[in-house]
Structures are given as structure tokens and as C-alpha cells.
A and B are shown apart, each in its own frame.
Chain A
Amino acid sequence: MTLPTTSMPALPKPKPTLAGVLRTLLVKFLFGFGLLIVLIALWQFGTSTWKSLFFPPPSTIWDSILKTFFSGEPDTLFLTKAMTVDVASSLGRLLVGFVLGSIVGVLIGTAIGRSMALREVTDPIVEFLRSIPATATLPLFIILLGGDDGMRVAFIAYAVMWFVLINTAAGVSAIHPTVIDVGRAFRIPRWKVLLRMVIPAAMPTIFAGLRIGATVSLLAAVVSELMLATNGIGYRLVLAQTGFRMAELWAWIILLAIIGFLINTLMEVLERRLLGWHRLARVTG
């Protein structure tokens, strides 16, 4: 007996190729940076015509960038201590804080998302606590945990956790009951239902939380270094400010913009890799 075998037309492969990613980035660059280049040119023209103490021309900032970040010894690839010590420790704390906050957020969020009772009990608490701007809790973190790296990592993790937690809870609770029924009907162990059915099914929503969390982790890392720090990007921002080195202050701000952009791009690439099925399933479904 023959059965009708009608399949959907061939689809592009879910994994993006390197050339595809590069092309996307190039188009993005032209569209996203065209206006930026014009604005920088205007800034250069304006600030060199009307001199301002607070707004040095881009060429001066560029010199400061080279001096601050890339005037080091050859054995550190010309990177300065600002890069090898301050940027590196900020990024290290950011990474650890982000990972910890994400894990805790996914764990608590999954528990809340799976249990209607837990959701009802925790909802007011979650709504209350997440309404407190995380940055405002830094003094409390300092009093409770002191001024070292552990405090800063905990602070970053705390700030990141809320976004991951809330998105995970929303994604997990929105899973269709059929998915759970399939797990039960085939006697699939509870841990496997959770790890290999519930969390992957909620992954598109969880990932949206992770992306916000990644941006927040940079913000929290810098804020945490504004007080009691001995290194880090935030610490160097304060040093430049108190020493009134305007060009260097701008150099750090621009470096932060670049780091933020790279983090977001990295998360976007990760999302495409991990959730290719979701994007394509939506297009064809």
C-alpha cells in the first residue's frame, strides 16, 4: 500500500553558515553605522570649531583610546594594564555573575512555572522584589558581603536573575499540557521531562530573558565597580572623572558601548544556533 507522502518544500538549513553570518553583519554595519559615521564627523567638526572642555573632538578621544588601551608592552600584545587588568576583571566578574544569575533564575523560574501553588504564593514577592532597581541595592550588598569580588559577582547575579527568572516562569507555565501528557504517557522520568521537554520548549522565552540579562550584567558590573573597587571598568571611569581626564572618560564610555554591542551580537548568534528550530518552525508552522 502506498501512502501519500507530501512534504513541505526544502527549507534553508537551520544552522547559519559563516558566510551568511558575515553578510548579515556587513549589511547590519552599513545600515547601523552609516548614520553613526555622519554624526561622528559632525561631532569632530563642531568640537574643533567651538572648543569644549567636556566634549573633546573624536580625534582626541581616539588618541586617548590608543593611549589608554593599546600602548602596552609587546609581550602583552600592546595591551595596557587597563585592558589586561581592568577590562579583564570586569568581564570575568560579568561572566561569572551572568552564569550564576542565569542558573538560579532558570531553576527558580522553572519551579515557579511548574507549580500553580508556588506561583500564587511567590507572585507578590517576585513582583515586589523585582520592582526594586537592582542598582539601588549595591550599598546593601556592600554592607552584607564586603567590598571584594564575591560581592560584585553576587550583585551582578542578583540583577541578572530577575529577568531570567521571570521569563523562565512565563515560558514554563505557558507550555501546553499535551507536552506534559506525552511525558507521563510514555513514563518518561520526571527529571527528563523537565530537562529535555519542558526547558527546551520554554527556551525561546528563556532566551529572551537571557539576552536582557546579558545586557544587565554589563550594567551591574560597571555599577558595582563605582564603589569600593580597586580595579575594573567602573573603577577606571571614576578615576578618570575625579582626575578630570575627559578624553579618557570618553574612551572608557566608548569601550563600554563596544563591549555591550559585542555581548548582544554574541547572544544573537547563540540564539540563532540554539533556537534555529524555533525560528524555522514558526515560519513554516
Chain B
Amino acid sequence: MTDTTTKTTILEVTDVSHTYGSGDTAYRAIDHLSFAIREGELGAIVGPSGAGKTTLLRILAGLLIPTEGSVSLLGKKVVGVPEGMAMVFQDYSRSLLPWLRIDKNVMFPLDQKSGSKEERAKLVAEALHAVGLDGHEHKYPWQLSGGMQQRVAIARALAYRPRLLLMDEPFASVDAQTRAGLEDLVLRIRDEYNMTILFVTHDIDESVYLADRVLVMSRPPATLAEDVTVDLPSPRDQISTREHPEFVAIRGHVARMIHGEDH
């Protein structure tokens, strides 16, 4: 890793391996994976489909305990779902509760958190404003388009005020136009909230456009093929960033790694 800043390490993945099953049917999804994410970083995990990206994210989220190695969040070893972490799921239509209105959906995970009712309501209003959903508080999720539903899921994660935001292929099921808007939304909230984000995607363009670092996973059993630093000018722009020679170079480099030497 080339990053030499003194920023706090938020997430540390140490020699993580995961094997599903045992004996003859054992399947090794992840093999000796290590990396760290520092405060304020936006890391993108990219890899071929079936490379264990979802397995890795579930391990990071504490939803799955790896068979070997360890994960620590803010210096504490992850043994269950840790505090200070929020997640945006790919399947927004299932991750939102269709019988609750938008504001109640965003409020739902906050009930356990400390603070008065007014403070929590303020967090909800702020988060909905940050994702541009003012005026939609009293609608139901199914009254909104797919992109807007995913923004509700992002607002829910923001209102939770996590130290680390995990995003699991969040824009895989929205159209390209909406997707560009959502990508810029991620960049904007990252600046506004100084959020540390780990973003999983199978889309190479998306990973390079969004991230400070692209963590390229190999074919399974997945290991870290390369940790690519993306040094593109900020703020990023859907048109000029994607034309930037550096963008094109990194994009090609990552694509070659993922699709193999036959390209």
C-alpha cells in the first residue's frame, strides 16, 4: 500500500480466507486477502462475477464469520455486526419496508440509537435532504422509481451516521442515466459527511470513476490482485473525468487484470 497519510485506519482486513462447506464439496471463495481503508477514503472493490465480492462484503459487515483471518473496525475485532457501520444493499425493493412511508423507513434503524425523538427526526430530515428527497417523506417506497428508492436506502444509511458505509453493487439494477446521478450523489455525500465508503461493483468504469483506490479481486479463490491508487482531479465529472487520459489508462489496466491476458 502506497498511502502514507497519518489518517486513522477505519477498516483493517488481515489475511482473510473463507471456505464454504467442507471435504470434497468445499469451495474456497476467498484466499488470504488483506487490505486497509483509512478515514475519508472511498475504496471500490471490483472483480469478475462470482469472485466472492459479496462474500467479502458480508464478512466485512459482520454478517459472515470468515473461516480464517480477521477483520477489525476502528481497531476492534469484528465478531458480529459492529457498531458504526451501515450498509446499502443492491436490492432496494427488498431492503426497504414497503408498509412504511419513506421517513419511517429512514427512521427505522434509529430507534435503538441514543438521542431524543426530535434529534432523530432531524437526522432523518437531514439525510433525506442530502439525497434530494425533500417532499417525498410521506410516500411509500413503491410509489418511487428505482433510483429514488435506492436514494432512500442511502438516506437510511446516512441518518444512521456510520463511520464506515458499505455499498453492495448499489446501482446494478438502475438504468444508466439514473446511475450517473447516483454515482455523483455518492461523491457528494462523501464530501459533505466526510464519509469513509467501501463500494463493491462489477463495473470497472464505475469503480475508477468513484474511488480513490480500486481493490481488484482475482478469479476465485479470490485474492487481492492489485491495489490501484486513482489520482484523478476532484471534483469528478461524468464527462471530463471519463475522458481524462489517467482514467482511460487505469480503466484499461484494471480491465486487463480482470479479463485476463487474452485482451
User: A1 touching B188 by the CB < 8 A rule?
Assistant: yes
- Report which A residues bind B (CB closer than 8 A): 1-8, 11, 14, 176, 178-179, 181-182, 184-189, 192, 196-197, 200-201, 203, 277-278, 280-281, 284-285
Chain A residue numbers with a CB within 8 Å of B61 are 185
Contact of A184 among B81, B136, B160 (CB under 8 A): B81
Given contacts A4-B181, A5-B132, A197-B97, contact A189 B112 (CB under 8 A): yes
A274 CB to nearest B CB, Å: 9
Contact of B109 among A2, A179, A186 (CB under 8 A): A186
Contact of B148 among A6, A185, A187, A285 (CB under 8 A): A6
Chain A residue numbers with a CB within 8 Å of B91 are 176, 178
User: B63 touching A277 by the CB < 8 A rule?
Assistant: no
Residues B66-108 near A (CB distance < 8 A): 81, 83, 85-87, 89, 91, 93-95, 97-99, 108
- Report which B residues bind A (CB closer than 8 A): 61, 63, 81, 83, 85-87, 89, 91, 93-95, 97-99, 108-109, 111-112, 131-132, 136, 139-140, 142-145, 147-148, 151, 160, 177-178, 181, 184-185, 188
A183 CB to nearest B CB, Å: 9
A85 CB to nearest B CB, Å: 42
A281 to B144, CA, bound (A): 11
A182 to B81, CA, bound (A): 11
**Which residue in chain B gives the minimum CB-CB distance to A183?**
B109
25 pairs, CB–CB < 8 Å, chain A vs chain B: A3-B132, A3-B181, A5-B132, A6-B145, A6-B147, A6-B148, A7-B143, A11-B143, A176-B91, A178-B95, A182-B95, A184-B63, A185-B63, A185-B86, A186-B109, A187-B109, A188-B108, A188-B109, A188-B112, A201-B97, A203-B99, A277-B99, A277-B140, A277-B142, A284-B143
Chain B residue numbers with a CB within 8 Å of A182 are 87, 89, 95
User: B99 touching A187 by the CB < 8 A rule?
Assistant: no
Contact of B140 among A184, A192, A196, A281 (CB under 8 A): A281
Chain B residue numbers with a CB within 8 Å of A1 are 184, 188
B102 CB to nearest A CB, Å: 11
Chain B residue numbers with a CB within 8 Å of A4 are 147, 177-178, 181
User: A7 touching B148 by the CB < 8 A rule?
Assistant: yes
A184 to B63, CA, bound (A): 7
**Which residue in chain A gives the minimum CB-CB distance to B133?**
A5
**Which residue in chain A gives the minimum CB-CB distance to B144?**
A7
User: A3 touching B185 by the CB < 8 A rule?
Assistant: yes
B10 CB to nearest A CB, Å: 17
Given contacts A3-B181, A4-B177, A284-B142, contact A200 B97 (CB under 8 A): yes
Chain B residue numbers with a CB within 8 Å of A196 are 108
User: B142 touching A187 by the CB < 8 A rule?
Assistant: no
* Those 6 A-B pairs whose CB atoms lie nearest each other, nearest first: A186-B109, A281-B142, A178-B94, A185-B87, A3-B132, A277-B99
Chain A residue numbers with a CB within 8 Å of B109 are 186-188
B94 CB to nearest A CB, Å: 4
A284 to B93, CA, bound (A): 12
A200 to B181, CA, bound (A): 33
